[in-house]
C-alpha cells in the first residue's frame, strides 16, 4: 500500500529564486530591501483553512489529482499552513508609481509565491497565495485578505480568462477561520471580517515595478539580470544565438510589452472592465490583467466612471482613461530600463507605436462589436463616436445593448429595431427614441455594405463572439459575497459556471442577463469599492 501524500506527484521548480539575488536577511520584519529581487518568507499559519471553491480547469492545467484538490492536505497547503516538497516561498521586491506619484519600494505585502509547476500545456506556472500573512514588504499592513475581496478576485480571474482577456488565473479560494480587521471605506469604522486566501496562477508575476525598484536604486547590474531573466523565461521566442543580452533584443522585448499592453487595453474596453488602480506596480510585464482590487464592470456606459473610492476625486483611472494611463506607465518602464538599453530614441519610437496599435485595435474591436468585418477609419469613426455619445447621454447598459444589437435585423422596420434595444435602457428620456433611430439608420446602411455584416448568420456570429452575454457584474459578485458571509458558498460556484461560457446563450442562467437593479446603483460593493475591497 502506498501511503505517500498525493502532493508528491507535483514537481516544483523555482527559476526566479535560482536566477536572481535574494534578500540576505531571513527575518520576516518590515524593512527596505536593497540589492535583492525577493525575500524568502513562509506563509503565516491560519486557524482552520477550508476550501470553499476551486477551478477544476486550473487544477487540471496544473496536473493536480482531483482527489488531492479535495483533500485536507490541499486546504492546509493553499491556506498557508503547509509547504509542499519542492516549494521555496518568497515575496517579490518592486517599487512603483501610485496615482501618478513615485511611491518607492512597495513589494509583495500580502502575496507569497510558492513555486512553479509545469502545466499540461508545457508552460511553467507560478502559484501565489494572496492574503497569506506579512512579508518584509508589508509596511504597516497585516498581509491578510478578507473574504469579500478574495471572492471578487477568485471569480473575476476566471471570468476574464473565459472572456478572452489576458489575465492571471485562480486555482482556489480558502477561508482561514481567522478574522481580519478592515476599514472598508477608510472612515474610521473598522470591523472584523472573515479572512480568506486566493491561490493565483500565472506564467509570471513580474510587474513594471520589479524593474523600477532596481533602476531607482541604480542597481543596474541586477536590473540587467532581471531583464535577461524575463526574456529567457517569459519571451523565449525573442532569443537567438547571436543577440541575447544586447540592446536589440531589449528593444524587441520592450516592443512586445507595449504591444501586449495595447491589446489588453482594447480587451478591457471591449468588455467594459475598469481596473480601478492602474499603478505601475499593478501592470504585468506579460500584458495580463493583474491585481483585482477595486475593479468594476460598466453597467450604464460611462467613460468617466471609476470603481475606486481612493480615485473618486482625481479620477485618474476612469474607464475612458485606461489606455492613456497604460501608455504613461509604459513610459515609466522605458525610463527604468534606459540605463541598460542606452537608446532613448529607439525607446521613444517604440512608445509611439503603442498609441497607434491601441487606436487600430480599438477601431477593429468596435467594428466587430457592430458586425463589421473591416473598418473604414474616416467614415466609421463618426459612427463609433455618435454611438458612444448616445450610450453616455441616454443611460444605456453596455453589455445588454451590444448583445441585443446582434439580434437586430438591419433591414427590418426601425420601430422593430428600437423595440429590441429598449431593454438596454435604464430610463426613458426626451428625444431618446428619435436619436437612437437616427443612429440605427446609419448602422443599417453601413452594415449592409460589409461582406460579413450584410449576411445575418455571419454577422450575428461575429457580434456574439465579440459581445459577451454574461459578465461578472458588480452586484452579482456582491450577492455572492453576502451569501458567503452567511456560510452559503453555492452562488460562487454558480457564477463560476456561468462565466465559464460567457458568450453562450445559457437559457438556464437567463436571470443573469439583466440590467443592474435599482438597489445596486449606490450600494457599497456594487458602485464603489476601496483598495481593501
Nearest by Cα to 423 from 514, 505, 510, 506: 514
> What residues are labeled active site?
281
Can you tell me the distance from the alpha carbon of 137 to that of 115, in angstroms, rounded to the nearest whole number?
A: 19
CA-angle at 214, arms to 209 and 220, nearest 5° = 135
Q: How far is CA 213 from CA 32, 37, 81, 95, 327, in A?
A: 11, 9, 31, 5, 19
Backbone CA torsion sign across 312, 315, 316, 318: positive
Ramachandran assignment for 455, one of left (phi > 0), alpha (psi -120 to 50 degrees), beta (any other): beta
> Which set of grid coordinates corresponds to residue 168?
492571471
**Cβ atoms within 10 Å of 131's Cβ, excluding its own:** 28
DSSP string, 468-522: -S----HHHHHHHHHHHHTT--HHHHHHHHHTTSTTS--GGGGGGSSPPPGGGSS
How many Cβ atoms sit within 10 Å of the Cβ of residue 91? 27
Cα–Cα distance between 394 and 396 in angstroms, integer? 6
Amino acid at each position: 500500500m502506498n501511503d505517500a501524500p498525493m502532493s508528491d506527484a507535483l514537481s516544483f521548480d523555482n527559476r526566479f529564486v535560482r536566477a536572481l539575488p535574494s534578500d540576505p536577511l531571513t527575518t520576516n520584519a518590515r524593512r527596505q530591501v536593497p540589492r535583492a529581487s525577493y525575500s524568502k518568507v513562509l506563509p503565516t499559519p491560519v486557524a482552520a483553512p477550508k476550501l470553499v471553491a476551486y477551478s477544476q480547469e486550473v487544477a487540471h492545467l496544473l496536473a493536480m489529482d482531483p482527489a488531492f484538490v479535495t483533500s485536507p492536505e490541499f486546504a492546509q497547503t493553499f491556506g498557508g499552513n503547509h509547504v509542499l516538497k519542492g516549494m521555496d516561498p518568497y515575496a517579490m521586491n518592486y517599487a512603483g508609481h501610485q496615482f501618478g506619484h513615485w511611491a518607492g519600494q512597495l513589494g509583495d505585502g500580502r502575496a507569497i509565491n510558492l513555486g512553479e509547476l509545469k502545466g499540461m500545456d508545457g508552460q511553467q506556472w507560478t502559484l501565489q497565495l494572496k492574503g497569506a500573512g506579512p512579508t518584509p514588504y508589508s509596511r504597516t499592513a497585516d498581509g491578510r485578505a478578507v473574504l469579500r475581496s478574495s471572492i471578487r478576485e477568485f471569480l473575476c480571474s476566471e471570468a476574464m480568462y473565459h472572456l478572452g482577456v489576458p489575465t492571471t488565473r485562480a486555482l482556489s479560494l480558502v477561508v482561514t477561520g481567522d478574522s481580519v480587521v478592515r476599514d472598508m471605506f477608510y472612515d474610521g469604522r473598522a470591523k472584523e471580517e472573515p479572512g480568506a486566501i486566493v491561490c493565483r496562477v500565472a506564467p509570471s508575476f513580474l510587474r513594471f515595478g520589479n524593474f523600477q525598484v532596481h533602476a531607482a536604486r541604480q542597481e543596474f547590474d541586477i536590473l540587467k539580470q532581471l531583464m535577461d531573466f524575463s526574456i529567457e523565461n517569459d519571451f523565449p521566442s525573442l532569443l537567438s544565438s547571436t543577440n541575447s543580452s544586447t540592446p536589440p533584443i531589449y528593444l524587441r522585448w520592450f516592443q512586445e510589452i507595449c504591444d501586449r499592453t495595447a491589446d489588453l487595453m482594447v480587451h478591457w474596453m471591449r468588455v467594459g472592465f475598469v481596473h480601478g488602480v492602474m499603478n505601475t506596480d499593478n501592470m504585468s510585464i506579460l500584458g495580463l490583467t493583474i491585481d483585482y482590487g477595486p475593479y468594476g464592470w460598466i453597467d450604464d456606459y460611462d467613460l468617466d466612471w471609476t470603481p475606486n473610492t481612493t480615485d473618486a476625486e482625481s479620477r485618474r483611472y476612469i474607464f475612458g482613461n485606461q489606455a492613456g494611463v497604460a501608455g504613461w506607465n509604459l513610459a515609466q518602464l522605458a525610463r527604468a530600463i534606459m540605463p541598460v538599453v542606452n537608446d532613448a530614441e529607439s525607446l521613444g519610437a517604440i512608445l509611439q507605436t503603442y498609441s497607434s496599435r491601441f487606436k487600430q485595435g480599438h477601431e477593429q474591436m468596435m467594428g466587430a462589436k457592430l458586425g463589421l468585418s473591416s473598418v473604414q477609419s474616416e467614415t466609421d469613426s463618426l459612427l463609433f463616436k455618435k454611438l458612444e455619445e448616445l450610450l453616455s447621454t441616454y443611460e444605456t447598459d453596455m453589455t445588454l445593448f451590444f448583445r441585443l444589437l446582434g439580434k437586430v435585423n438591419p433591414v427590418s422596420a426601425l420601430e422593430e429595431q428600437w423595440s429590441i434595444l429598449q431593454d438596454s435602457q435604464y430610463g426613458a428620456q426626451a428625444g431618446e427614441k428619435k436619436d437612437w433611430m437616427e443612429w440605427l439608420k446609419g448602422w443599417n446602411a453601413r452594415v449592409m455594405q460589409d461582406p460579413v455584416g450584410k449576411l445575418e448568420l455571419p454577422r450575428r456570429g461575429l457580434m456574439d463572439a465579440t459581445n459577451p452575454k454574461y459578465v461578472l457584474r458588480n452586484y452579482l459578485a456582491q450577492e455572492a459575497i453576502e451569501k458567503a458571509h452567511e456560510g452559503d458558498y453555492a452562488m460562487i460556484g454558480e457564477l463560476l459556471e456561468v462565466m465559464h461560457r460567457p458568450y453562450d446563450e445559457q437559457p438556464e442562467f437567463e436571470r443573469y442577463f439583466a440590467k443592474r437593479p435599482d438597489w445596486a446603483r449606490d450600494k457599497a460593493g456594487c458602485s464603489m469599492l476601496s483598495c481593501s475591497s
